[in-house]
Amino acid sequence: MPENVVAILPEFWLALGQTALMLAIGLAAALVIGGPLGVLLFLLGPGQSLAHRGAHALLGWVINTVRSFPFIILLVALVPFTRTIAGSSIGPVAAAVPLSFAAIPYFARLVEQSLRDVPRGVIEAAHAMGASELQIVWRVLVLEGRSGLVLALTVLAISFLSYSAVAGVVGGGGIGDLAIRYGYYRFQTDVMVFTVAVLVVLVQLIQFAGSTLARRIDKR
């Protein structure tokens, strides 16, 4: 192992933990807020039980507007809000704030698309049997679409692993910050290659875990 890589190993393990923290907070926000938002967006769509053209268009517009911001711009634009929430604009917890903002609408769209794969007949049958909206959401939509939802979460996790690396540009910590400080500013190419290789391995592991879980719970 190159000498420069060996020298930064203690910092690397800290950076890996920071990346995991940022990713965990962002994914948790996506699940807790973005998931229900995606379900609502689906139910407000044409032909669904809560169909409402105006509300669907408005909600879709808000989601698309937030998604249209490049992450680096969102990161900078939310600095005042981040300071209010996290007490600082640097560090992994601070970086998790804009990550969460970006993850919520992203996951909401993925959830909506996944639920569209649920057979319309199954939903209509549940309505015919007198199921409430909440029962249809949990026992029909989520249950029937669980494989697609797991894959959607996998896509989100991989995308936001890259976003967490971008957060290193403004002192967010994590693997990206390590790569910039040593690989870019100090011209240690071996450190840069090492951090990229770690990110590649992490992406492969996340994709493998997500695909395996989705395949096992897919009962179709």
| Domain range list for the chain | 3-217
What pLDDT, on the 0 to 100 scale, is given for residue 220?
Answer: 60
Domain spanning 3-217: CATH 2.60.120.380: no
User: Is residue 219 pLDDT above 70, yes or no?
Assistant: no
Is the per-residue pLDDT at 98 higher than 80? yes
pTM: 0.88
d(CA 184, CA 134): 51
Is residue 170 very low, low, confident or very high in pLDDT (cuts 50, 70, 90)? low
- Return the structure tokens found at 125: 């049958």
Segment 3-7 mean pLDDT = 73
DSSP, res 69: S
Q: Is the pLDDT of residue 107 over 90?
A: yes
User: Across residues 55-63, what is the average pLDDT?
Assistant: 92
How many Cβ atoms sit within 10 Å of the Cβ of residue 150? 21
What confidence tens digit (pLDDT) does each residue in 111-123 have?
999 888 888 778 8
Q: What is the torsion angle, in degrees rounded to the nearest 10, for the CA atoms of residue 205, residue 207, residue 211 and residue 212?
A: 0
pLDDT digits (tens, 9 = 90+) for 17-51: 988 988 999 999 999 999 999 999 998 988 887 88
CB proximity list for 53: less than 8 A, separation 6 or greater = 46
